Chain A
């Protein structure tokens, strides 16, 4: 069972969290013209790396804050967690 350090609450077991996917994916700015390719990149296409992965998690059964996690997808090791306004 993963142990995830919520930047606001501290270490908790994974049961309190829900996953939010690849944090490298950036939503295009609202109202901005985007090409089909850029849009597909945002909605569907993923790097899906084996190894280090920056991802979002949501402390859904806790403080309800979204935050960032740097995790190895091949070992599940978590190297770092950070608030959204912090560098990961």
Chain B
């Protein structure tokens, strides 16, 4: 294949390295250094896509991030990716891309029927129809619209690529490596500042790559190259290409995306695909440049019609002619650079200039070269369905409302220039209010809210000389605020073509009786008539226009269309643009890969996994784990083919009959020390703590200030001024913050310190009638009798040389002990217990058996303490001290909290003694009542009682205590269950608590 439109010279591509790629099934060649767009254009391919709504043929409009049309589906061996921008993606060997949103092909697209129907599908048509019959929207119309919408195809598989995050700090961040950016970076770097220079493109230099200018007697491009080399050689500078700063967040946090993989032909397995940089900067220089605006005229959206600056970039950077019979259509001098370049490469362009004249050097030069220029002319319309082949041009009448004559001129491309729009996105994101500058018909930054300064064309400065001066000046001033080194760099002299004024006119009139479509938003199919319609219907705010017409809401976010739309509204409304206002700029500047934002928090690493020191033992012994917050806890230890229920029954039974061991490491543990510790606990918990003796534990309930139960657990007095608090696994972190808040903020006078010791201790619970015997064997030197170590007693011990803490506390309701040793000894403790307990039939039990044991004892846990109950709801009235104040006490006397028929905890047993009541069922009096059926309460937890060998549940029931003995129904419509039940006490087993005290 020849690259028919590739010039023999020009461009910064590597002509020694040919690269093959496939587009829409056809093989092409380009060169290393091409983008997919430049390579396609080198092969004369212009028809690359279809518009979103009407499926009109689309070609390249731009050469960079502003490109609205050339969005492709990319294919690789592993995956596919939608909506990649052809002007941004660098060509690599074997790249495979296809056009999107067309069927069966971009050449012949059935969707183009929409174009024929476009008359009845103007902006917002969908709000006016598809309402009849009622259910058809969801069933018929919406599915059809959904299928037609969307651009590319999402991959269905996980992303195997790796994305990394990096954190950096700098004195001066320079965004953009055009002349003003390079100047700013150089000045700041020479003045000793830590500088980061970020360039979105693969090449540094910005406009210097494509402009015929000199700086310091060198070609602009050469000066840029040398400056980059110089910056790279400095140790205080980080220079990054392929790196786009896409967001300006609070407190000068800039976020940048660096493309690190896709352009490499053979990346290593470890190369991250992209890197997200969080950069905290002291000063920012935004040298983000500007984007050319299209002119608007009849059928201005055909393939082959593109921005003049893009055509120039293809010519200068890539050595590609976008056409051989070009028309250049402009309202300013910028496009003459392109005309001259064409001419120098042997192509004769026709220039159509809206202005009556121009005295710029560019125009003079063009005239001297013999370039055909038609002043006071405009393009009224174009022809050529899949590629433009002629333009209808004419002389504009005096007030530019029509044409004096019209003629057809053949062409193979049209390069348009409607002047420049400064790229103010980052500045606006930083909080800067923008102001409209009449001189350039665009918005520029006004007053900085953060440490942000804009330079060069991004703030409306369009001469090289001023841009350089601006950059050097700011680079010095900003850096000197920080370094105070006073090292000024000299500003090199520069030379460029001067420019005359542009014409504000940009939207061409329609010839008489013609109804051509004039496109404003190329991807989303928004035409002049749509914006007129919106305003006609009262959508006059620019935000209304945007939303109603979808102007600027496509994947290019209106980089080439927003300002034109705005000007149109201003023209129709006869309002000046500042009155119309502008839509908001929000991050990101261009679409950012979601994986890159997420970074490494994926798959198993989505959240940390916390494991107890005994985890490996559990794994070896067939534990099935359950997530408890971030912890993995053994749910049960599977034997043979048994089910969860079988295992729970077996394990719980063994606790009731013999002895079980349970890993309780995940419980929150907080060390509390200081002379006011008891007083502090007295304020935190609802019950009394002052008189708790050393060596004793007590159960405590803590409330939020609104009176709702926050957490519960046991706290042990280790010594006079030292307590050991336990919390639930779920609330451990919150309780610590809660304690710290009260200590530091509310009662700073208390002498108390708190520290999380959750990770410090490995904990086990030994439960069952044999537990004391085993404890005796574990601690032969300690008296473990009921008298010496009574219920709620505490002792320090020595576990075969390992210091241990022994607590006689019980969640299972059995005679039970908890032993803590330092984490590193956890597995030693566990194995020792298993070894010595073997003869007593010790078996490990998991959280499921633990639940069974606590439920039938009526002990409350997370399913009851659900953030909505007060102590009395859980029969914890006795825990509330009447003598002292504590957190949340004042809330307990509120009307709703003292109502007598509040929902309270009860036990529930199915009448048939067989049917398990699903958790989450509701209790009702009448199972056949019409809906809504009044709910009396709900089942919070269910188990198979191993004590009574029948199902048992806990419930929170309206007026619960008075209903004991009543028959109600537990309904679970979700599971189609309706179970007749009897209300019993929540303390189903050992109501007097004799076992724990035995």
The reply to whether A and B meet directly (CB within 8 Å) is yes
Q: Which residues of A contact B (CB under 8 A)?
A: 1-3, 13, 18, 20, 27-28, 30-31, 34, 39, 42-44, 56, 58, 60, 64-66, 75-76, 78, 84-85
Asked if B890 and A34 sit within 8 Å, CB to CB, the answer is: yes
A23 vs B316: C-alpha distance when bound (angstroms): 61
B832 CB-CB contact with A under 8 Å: no
Is B50 at the interface (CB under 8 A from chain A)? no
Residue of B nearest to A39 (CB): B890
Contact B741 A66 (CB under 8 A): yes
List chain B positions with a Cβ less than 8 A from chain A. 249-253, 278, 280, 431, 449, 683, 705-706, 737, 740-741, 744-746, 748, 884-886, 890-891
Cβ of A84: which chain B residues have Cβ within 8 Å of it? Answer: 744-745, 748
Are B740 and A2 within 8 A (Cβ)? no
Report whether A3 and B280 are in contact in the complex, using a CB–CB cutoff of 8 Å: yes
- Cβ–Cβ < 8 Å partners of A28 in chain B: 890
What distance in Å separates the Cβ of B604 from its nearest Cβ neighbour in chain A? 21
Which B residues are CB-close (under 8 A) to A42?
705
Which chain B positions have C-beta within 8 A of A30? Answer: 683, 885-886
Give every chain A residue within 8 A of B891 (Cβ-Cβ): 39, 43
With a CB–CB cut-off of 8 A, which chain B residues contact A20? 741, 745
Task: Report A-chain residues with C-beta under 8 Å of the C-beta of B251.
Answer: 1-3, 76, 78
Q: How distant is the Cα of A76 from the Cα of B431 in the complex, in angstroms?
A: 10
Contacts of A78 in B (CB 8 A): 251
Cα–Cα distance between A1 and B278 once the two chains are bound (Å) = 9
A1 touches B250 (CB 8 A): yes
A3 lies within 8 A of B253 (CB): yes
Which one of A2, A27, A39, A58 lies within 8 Å of B737 (CB-CB)? A58
Q: Given the complex, which residues of A lie within 8 Å of B431, measured CB to CB?
A: 75
Could you list 6 examples of A-B contacts with CB < 8 Å?
Answer: A3-B252, A13-B278, A31-B884, A58-B737, A75-B431, A84-B745
Q: Report chain A residues within 8 Å CB of B746.
A: 27
Do A76 and B250 touch across chains, with their CB atoms under 8 A apart? yes
**Which residues of chain A are within 8 angstroms of B884 by Cβ–Cβ distance?**
31
Residues of A within 8 A of B886 (CB): 30
Bound together, the chains give a CA A60 to CA B885 distance in angstroms of 28
Do residues A65 and B744 form an inter-chain contact, with CB atoms below 8 A?
Answer: yes
Q: Do A43 and B706 contact each other (CB < 8 Å), given the known contacts A1-B251, A3-B251?
A: yes
Per the bound structure, the CA–CA distance linking A75 and B431 in Å amounts to 8
A68–B825 Cα distance when bound, in Å, is: 41
Q: Which residues from chain B contact A85 at a C-beta distance below 8 Å?
A: 748
Report the separation of the CA atoms of residues A31 and B496 in the bound assembly, to the nearest whole angstrom: 81
Cβ distance B252 to chain A, nearest Cβ, rounded Å: 8
Q: How far is the CA of A42 from the CA of B252 in the complex (A)?
A: 35
Query: Would you give the shortest CB distance from B633 to chain A, in whole angstroms?
Result: 24
Provide the main secondary structure of the chain A interface.
loop
Of all chain A residues, the one with the shortest Cβ separation from B893 is A36
Shortest beta-carbon contacts, A-B, top 9:
A3-B251, A1-B253, A31-B885, A66-B744, A76-B250, A30-B885, A27-B746, A39-B890, A66-B745
From A3, A13, A39, A58, B740 is in contact (CB under 8 Å) with A58
Closest to B706 in A: A43
The answer to whether residues A43 and B705 also contact, given A1-B278, A2-B251, A34-B890 and a CB cut-off of 8 A, is yes
- Point out the residues of chain A lying under 8 angstroms from B748, CB to CB: 84-85
Q: Cβ of A3: which chain B residues have Cβ within 8 Å of it? A: 250-253, 280
Which residues on A sit within 8 Å (CB–CB) of B740? 58, 64, 66
Inter-chain contacts of A39 with B (CB < 8 A): 890-891
Q: How far is the CB of B286 from chain A (nearest CB, A)?
A: 18
Note all chain B residues with C-beta closer than 8 A to A76: 250-251
Once the chains are docked, how many angstroms separate the CA of A44 from the CA of B705? 10
Asked whether B737 lies within 8 Å of A18 as measured between CB atoms, the reply is yes
The smallest beta-carbon distance between B248 and chain A, in angstroms, is 11
Query: Which of chain B's residues have a CB closer than 8 A to the CB of A64?
Result: 740
Pick from A13, A27, A56: contact of B280, CB below 8 A.
A13
The answer to whether B741 and A2 have CB atoms under 8 Å apart is no
Q: Which residues of B contact A56 (CB under 8 A)?
A: 741, 745
Q: Decide: A1 and B249 in contact? CB cutoff 8 A.
A: yes
Minimum CB distance partner of B254 in chain A: A1
- With the chains together, A84 CA to B249 CA distance in Å? 28
Residue of B nearest to A4 (CB): B251
Question: Which of A1, A13, A85 has the largest number of chain B CB atoms within 10 A?
Answer: A1
Complex: A31 Cα to B705 Cα, angstroms? 14
Min CB distance B738 to A, Å, is 10
A42 to B, closest residue via Cβ: B705
Chain B residues with CB under 8 Å of A34's CB are 890
Instruction: Apart from A31-B884, A66-B744, list 20 A-B contacts with CB within 8 A.
Output: A1-B251, A2-B250, A3-B250, A3-B253, A3-B280, A13-B280, A20-B741, A20-B745, A30-B683, A30-B885, A31-B885, A39-B891, A43-B705, A44-B706, A60-B737, A76-B250, A76-B251, A84-B744, A84-B748, A85-B748
Determine if B280 and A58 form an interchain contact, defined as CB atoms under 8 angstroms apart: no
Q: Give the docked Cα–Cα distance between A84 and B280 (Å).
A: 27
State A18–B736 Cα separation when bound (angstroms).
13
The smallest C-beta distance from B758 to any residue of chain A, in angstroms, reads 14
Contacts of B705 on A, CB cut-off 8 Å?
A: 27, 42-43
Tell me how far the C-beta of B464 lies from the nearest C-beta in chain A, rounded to whole angstroms: 36
Determine the residue in chain A with the shortest Cβ distance to B449.
Answer: A75
With A and B bound together, what is the CA distance between A42 and B683 in angstroms?
A: 17
Residues of B within 8 A of A1 (CB): 249-251, 253, 278
C-alpha gap A31/B883 in the complex (Å): 10
- Residue in chain A with minimal CB distance to B683: A30
Q: Which residue of B lies closest to A28 (CB)?
A: B890
How near does chain A come to B500, taking the closest CB pair, in angstroms?
42
Give Cα A60 to B683, complex, Å.
Answer: 23
A3–B279 CA distance with the chains assembled, in angstroms: 12
Q: How far is the CB of B281 from chain A (nearest CB, A)?
A: 11
The residue on B at minimum CB distance from A34 is: B890
CA distance A39 to B745 in the complex (A): 18
Closest CB-CB distance, A87 to chain B, in whole Å?
Answer: 15
B253 neighbours in A (Cβ, 8 Å) = 1, 3, 13
In whole Å, how far is B170's beta carbon from the nearest beta carbon of chain A? 14
Question: In this complex, what residue of A is CB-closest to B251?
Answer: A3
B-chain residues with CB within 8 Å of residue A31 when the two chains form the complex: 884-885
Bound-state Cα–Cα, A76 to B253, Å: 13
Give, as a whole number of angstroms, the nearest-CB distance from A27 to chain B.
5
Q: How close is A50's CB to chain B, nearest CB, in angstroms? A: 15
Closest Cβ–Cβ distance, residue B168 to chain A (whole Å): 12
Query: Which residues does chain A contribute within 8 Å of B683, judged by CB atoms?
Result: 30
Residue in A27, A65, A78, A85 with the greatest tally of chain B CB atoms within 10 Å: A27
A60 (CB) vs chain B CBs: closest residue: B737
Give the residues in chain B near A18, CB-CB below 8 Å: 737
Report Cα–Cα, A26/B995, bound state, in Å: 46
**Shortest distance between the CB of B588 and any CB in chain A (Å):** 14
Complex CA gap A70/B253 in Å reads 19
Q: Which of B431, B746, B890, B891 has the most chain A CB atoms inside 10 A of its CB?
A: B890
Give the CA-CA distance A84 to B745 in the complex, in Å.
Answer: 7
In the assembled complex, which residues on chain A have CB atoms less than 8 Å from the CB atom of B745? 20, 56, 66, 84
B407 to chain A, nearest CB (A): 57
Q: Return B358 CB to nearest CB of chain A, in Å.
A: 44
Smallest Cβ distance from B912 to chain A, in angstroms?
Answer: 46
User: In the complex, which residue of chain A has the Cβ closest to the Cβ of B704?
Assistant: A43
Shortest Cβ distance from B280 into A: residue:
A3
Chain A nearest Cβ from B735, distance in angstroms:
13
Q: From residue B687, how far is it (CB to closest CB) to chain A in Å?
A: 16
Residues of B within 8 A of A43 (CB): 705-706, 891
Give A83's nearest chain B residue, CB to CB. B744
Expressed in whole angstroms, the minimum distance between the Cβ of B247 and any Cβ of chain A is 10
Which of B253, B431, B745 counts the most chain A CB atoms within 10 A?
B745
A60 to B746, CA, bound (A): 17
Look across to chain A and name the residue whose beta carbon is closest to the beta carbon of B741.
Answer: A66
Kindly list chain A residues whose C-beta atoms are within 8 Å of the C-beta of B249: 1
Give the distance in Å from the alpha carbon of A13 to the alpha carbon of B740 in the complex.
Answer: 21
Please tell me if the beta carbons of B741 and A58 are within 8 angstroms of each other in the complex. yes
Closest Cβ–Cβ distance, residue B710 to chain A (whole Å): 14
For the complex formed, measure the closest distance between the CB of B884 and the CB atoms of chain A, giving whole angstroms. Answer: 8
Output the least CB separation between A18 and chain B (Å): 7
Least CB separation from A1: chain B residue: B253
